[in-house]
Amino acid sequence: MIRITTLLSGHGLAALSTLARNLVLARILGPQDYGVAVALVVVIAAAELTTTLGLPQQIVSHKHGAGRQFQATLHTVQIARGLLGAGIILLTATPLANVLGAPDAAPILRTAALVPTILGFIHLDPFRAQRHRRHLPQILVLAVPPMVCVLAIWPMSGWQDGPSLMLDLLLVQAFMSVAISHLIAVRPYRLKFHMSQIQQVLRYGLPLAANGILMFAVLHAEKLIAGAGLGLVEMGVLAMGFTLTLTPALIMARSFQAFYLPKLRNEREQVLGLAMMLGASLSVVLTTLVPLCLPVLGAGFGGLAELIPILSCLAALRLPKSALATVALAEGCTNLPAVANLPRVLGTPLVWLALGWGGDVKTLLVIATTAEVAGVGLGILISRTKQLPVRATAIAALVGVLVLSGQHGLAIFACGIGWMLYAFSPTPFLTRRTT
């Protein structure tokens, strides 16, 4: 209980700090400039997700992850990854600015290449502590930099304005991440080029990089399509909607993976049914609480209110997908997350066509939610689960329908009944495959 509380508090502080930063910047910048700031975050996310190799996860789950030589090899790969990410930003900055109808933003987007370059020098030793169920070092690396970033908004806004303020804050956060990782590391920072180990890293990580490309499409393609088809204002509004609903979902999903991944290396554990119930509960909580944040953003973001129910259900689907991915990663099966994200990616051309035919943001979200449901179903099929959480799945589906139809009271009641059934007669819902 102490460990999961530490994880939730750490990931929660990191994500809530990012949420606070975005809320304050949205209020300061307004929808138009906030749209450019979102483009800045998106281009950095492109570098991060398309080059991801699961290096922190490899330190935890790889059989040689505790070795000094393997860790030094991971540091070398991390530097190369940062430089590759910087190159991706430099290549895509100008085309992205032109697609969004903001060519003046190209220089600031190119400058964002400094962020992955800096993060390439992060020390991975704090993540190694998870092998021994010690999560505090990792939490410090994840949580302290965004908290400092929030505190830096007020002094930095005195001499910087517009989207450049977001870039400066991201650079501060990157420097802090690297500095803290080195300060709390137990082992000295070393680099090593060991070809056989690099090949092992790539065999594990390249499917995750493929999934990272898909995850970029899942998390950001719809924003870019909205920006290109509807304008930067709509892009800023949609991005804020994703931020308000996805932030809690990602807190839970990342904590879920960080807590269960070390356990699943050695133990059987049932996680999918729990994730289903957590997702259903999350959709109810988000639909109830997120509208309370909208007055803080100002009148420019007023259109978000009608989108919150569907955004909440879309975010809640991250929990079962995270459960499936965690079990797969623990078994060294790194292709499942990519396959489960395919429906969402394949839905993006439909989003583009729908907007071209006069659709709006709600149309975009309906297509995205349908594709995400298909992704969860596909993930369950290819995971070859021996026992499906029929009860938890049915309750989660019922709660989703009630949330989308505006029946909040009934949705809360259904969640309560579901948790009672789960507590008194839990259904086995996912076991690790045995060979």
Out of 35-49, 174-188, 250-264, 350-364, pick the least confident. 250-264
Per-residue pLDDT, averaged over 319-336, amounts to 76
| Domain residue limits, the chain | 2-424
Choice between 310 and 142, residue whose per-residue pLDDT is larger? 310
The chain-wide mean pLDDT, for the chain, equals 83
pTM of the shown model: 0.71
**Whether the predicted pLDDT of 243 surpasses 60:** yes
pLDDT for 258 equals 67
Question: How many CB atoms sit inside 10 A of residue 213's CB?
Answer: 17
- Say which residue the tokens 């995850």 belong to: 215
